[in-house]
Amino acid sequence: MANALLIGDEAPDFEAETTEGHIRFHDFIDGHWAVLFSHPKNFTPVCTTELGYTARLKPEFDKRDVKVVGLSIDPIENHDQWATDIRETQGYALNFPLIADASGKIAELYGMIHPNASNTLTVRSVFVIGPDKKVKLTLQYPASTGRNFDEILRVIDSLQLTAKENVATPVNWQKGDDVIIPTSVSDEDAKKKYPQGWNEQRPYLRVVTLPTA
């Protein structure tokens, strides 16, 4: 298995056939955010529910300027029938590319094969990648457990906010909630940025409400 990708690493580039044609991954990102997530196999029940729900959430990803791409180790000719099953059982048609990684090369490149779980099937990997093509988040789920894509959206909201503003987000943060002033920001600098003040629970725990646009 390839070395696991770490946060801050550049996402490896690759070329692949998908349900929406041939892509080169770095060109596909092209200044956008991206989510790459893997599925152990076509025509499996948990994967079917995940792909249907992701299709349902496509407008939410679009709002956040996020391109979504799935990956399965099955060949491209199997994807069309599975897409029909997804639409008929989940109520949403596949509306993002699904990579056919029959050779397993991309799965190996991204460390999606965990030999102690399976020598051939990918685990449920998620990679959130920034416009700079750097990995911002990695998640690994076992094949038996479906992912929470609402949580992935929540994390993307946090990643995008903290990339724009020099803040951190607290436990269970949701978009619009108060945020934390990092300890790297002095009180003097914080007063310039937040003249409205903040709630200092401890010198290292300063909670602030961001102005709304």
What pLDDT is recorded for position 122? 58
- For residues 49 and 143, membership in a common domain is answered with yes
> Which of the residue ranges 71-75, 184-188, 206-210 would you say has the lowest mean pLDDT?
71-75
pLDDT at position 142 over 90: no
- For residues 169 and 144, membership in a common domain is answered with no
Which one of 122, 148, 174 terminates a domain? 148
- Assign 3 a pLDDT band (cuts: 50, 70, 90): low
* Dihedral sign, Cα of residue 56, residue 52, residue 37, residue 68: negative
- For residues 102 and 54, membership in a common domain is answered with yes
- Assign 119 a pLDDT band (cuts: 50, 70, 90): very low
> Which of the residue ranges 17-21, 62-66, 74-78, 140-144 would you say has the lowest mean pLDDT?
74-78
**Domain presence at residue 20:** yes
Which one of 117, 148, 179 terminates a domain? 148
- For residues 144 and 170, membership in a common domain is answered with no
**Domain presence at residue 159:** no
pLDDT at position 99 over 90: yes
- For residues 143 and 49, membership in a common domain is answered with yes
- For residues 77 and 137, membership in a common domain is answered with yes
What CATH number should be reported for the domain holding residue 56?
3.40.30.10
**pLDDT averaged over every residue in the chain:** 91
Exposure of 122 in the CB half-sphere (CA atoms within 13 A): 33
Residues with catalytic function:
47
pLDDT single digits (tens) 165-201: 999 999 999 999 999 999 999 999 999 999 999 999 9
3-state class (DSSP) for residue 125: strand
Give the range of the structural domain holding residue 97, as residue numbers without chain letter.
15-148
Count structural domains, the chain: 2
pLDDT single digits (tens) 14-68: 999 999 999 999 999 999 999 999 987 778 899 999 999 999 999 999 999 999 9
- For residues 137 and 175, membership in a common domain is answered with no
What pLDDT is recorded for position 191? 96
Alpha-carbon distance 20 to 38, whole Å? 17
Which tokens belong to 155?
């994390």
**Domain presence at residue 157:** no
What pLDDT is recorded for position 30? 94
**Domain presence at residue 42:** yes
Q: Which helix (DSSP H) or strand (DSSP E) does residue 201 occupy?
A: strand 199-202
pLDDT at position 1 over 50: no
- For residues 94 and 24, membership in a common domain is answered with yes
**Domain presence at residue 67:** yes
What pLDDT is recorded for position 121? 58
User: Looking at residues 92-107, what average pLDDT do you find?
Assistant: 92
What CATH number should be reported for the domain holding residue 187?
3.30.1020.10
Alpha-carbon distance 14 to 100, whole Å? 12
